[in-house]
Amino acid sequence: MSIAFELMGGLGLFLFGMTFMGSALQKSAGSKMKGILSALTNNRALGVLVGALVTAVVQSSSATTVMTVGFVNAGLMNLSQAIGVIMGANIGTTITAQLVAFHLGDIAPVIVGIGVAFYFGAKKKKVKEKAEILIGFGILFLGMDMMKQAIKPLSESQIFIDALLNFNNPWIGILTGFGITAIMQSSSATTALLIAVAGAGSGLMTIEMAYPILFGENIGTCVTAMISSVGASKTAKRAALMHLIFNIIGTLLFMIFLRIPVQYLVTILSPDNIERQIANAHTLFNIISVILLFPFASKIVKISEKLIKGEDVEKEGELKYVDKRLMATPSIALVQVSREILRMAKLVEQQIIDAQFALLNNDEEMVYSVFAKEKNVNIMEKKLLDYMVDLTKLSLTAEQRDKITTLMNNINDIERIGDHADNIAELALDNITNNVTFSGQAKDELNEMIELVHESYKLSLLTYKTTDTEIGMKVFEKEKLINAMEKTLRKNHMDRLNAGACMTQSGIIFLDAISNLERIGDHSINIAEAIIEVVNKQKIVKIVNGDN
């Protein structure tokens, strides 16, 4: 029982260290990871490189594949790009195996100690991030050493020896690798456990027995992405399926043709080191699989499309660019949230246009068009806010937290603008129901104010999109004109009412309409002002930190 507890503790430390190090690496490289996607084109070779690099950062091919499913689901990546990234992820995950094959358990406490010293002694954020990488790296090897120590007594157990001998059957090895990886949701953890068993001193584990387990774990790691694709778009499901197809074909190629030659090669490279043999065999398996199957990548894409047919039907209020799988990379998730907010803002802009037409033309169809859009906007607002609340629970930089706060405020202001457009549509419906019409002058004045308010809103969205503070200042200029116009129109209409030039009912609706328009102007100012504040704060931070 003590062996099981010690083994579980070692595995837990290993997984924690790997995750902690990956999180620290990602935080350190987070601002650069946004540029990785922009580098992706239909060049699959570049996709392979990106997949390998991202996996090296996040320390998990499963995480990379899940992110890829998220990218596809969010429209950031097509299947042609995704297949390259998936292939690259298989190469990137071998780095962890190469690391754990080194005997660094003795110096692991020193590495952790140095990392902790730098973490508590440093004041600069970048130094602390580098220290976190060292801490995670050291904990990873502490866990690895703990697993080896736990397994050592088993080398004298006949039950354990008999169990190992079962792996002389390669198909049992494949099933074992698949099962363990599917349960632990980490091929790196399975590889580490395998290396720990091999390095425990029993001398019974051979590369012939270990290799099929590696094949099985490569298939087992697909389970995470397949589960992740549940509820995603059909294109995202195809991405997860491509990962499974690629790994199954690679396994079959090795089992039938390449296993024996590669086993012979790794034995020559490291004749007396089974741990190094396993790490090298794992690396060669994945690299050779990519080389052999890369020319057939488009065929794998087509197979996935034939197996999963049809297109998705867009639902009301459905988010297009945001996906929970993107939370593994907060910097990219935030970019997608920004895109989704802009999409929501465009829907609200259409509300303003429809409300304008409905009010000036007593058009009932346009009234209900505004109502339908308002329903979608409200659904989108809730989903976006829930998503960002979940984001705040992750390990974020101070800049990312500031951005989330700003985006939440932007969402609130955009939604409120939609509410005021909805109010104007309701006023139009009152006109239609009560057979009320505006005078020609009242229509001209309303049209002029709506156009001015619409222009202000468009400038606020342009400020949001470009983070250009000069454009933002133009919103303030428009706001002065809106406030002045609201006062003038209110006075003009009161004069018309007193002169009996218009109906009392239409006068009340007119005044309510310009009041709602003035409030739209206020919320447009809020959007621009929030962006200007963030931009100015970032400039101050850069000056304080000495950045150019």
User: Does residue 363 carry a pLDDT above 60?
Assistant: yes
Is there a contact between 338 and 406 (Cβ–Cβ < 8 Å)? Answer: no
User: Does residue 545 carry a pLDDT above 80?
Assistant: no
Closest by CA position to 450, among listed 511, 497, 513: 513
User: Does residue 538 carry a pLDDT above 50?
Assistant: yes
Question: Average pLDDT of 457-466?
Answer: 94
Element (H, E) at 294: none
CA 511/CA 432 separation, integer angstroms: 17
% of residues, the chain, pLDDT over 90: 41
pLDDT, averaged across the chain: 85
Place of tokens 């346009």: 366
DSSP string, 49-71: HHHHHHHHHHT-HHHHHHHHHHH
Question: Average pLDDT of 494-503?
Answer: 70
CA 337/CA 327 separation, integer angstroms: 11
Question: Average pLDDT of 245-251?
Answer: 95
CA 370/CA 421 separation, integer angstroms: 8
CA 489/CA 170 separation, integer angstroms: 85
- Which of 33-47, 248-262, 299-313 is modeled with the greatest confidence? 248-262
Q: Which of 11-15, 310-314, 351-355 has the lowest mean pLDDT?
A: 310-314
- Which of 95-109, 162-176, 377-391 is modeled with the greatest confidence? 377-391
Question: Average pLDDT of 360-384?
Answer: 94
Domains of the chain (ranges; CATH) run 2-307 (no CATH), 324-545 (1.20.58.220)
Q: Give me the pLDDT at residue 540, please.
A: 55
Question: Average pLDDT of 385-403?
Answer: 88
Residue type, 504: T
User: Does residue 162 carry a pLDDT above 70?
Assistant: no
Q: What is the pTM of this model?
A: 0.73
% of residues, the chain, pLDDT over 70: 88
- Using pLDDT thresholds of 50, 70 and 90, give the confidence band for residue 40: low
Closest by CA position to 61, among listed 281, 223, 304: 223
What is the token pair recorded at 480? 């002065």
Closest by CA position to 188, among listed 6, 17, 395, 66: 17
- The torsion angles phi and psi of 170, rounded to 5 degrees, stand at -60, -30
Residue type, 258: L
Question: Average pLDDT of 423-441?
Answer: 90
CA 449/CA 439 separation, integer angstroms: 16
- Using pLDDT thresholds of 50, 70 and 90, give the confidence band for residue 548: very low
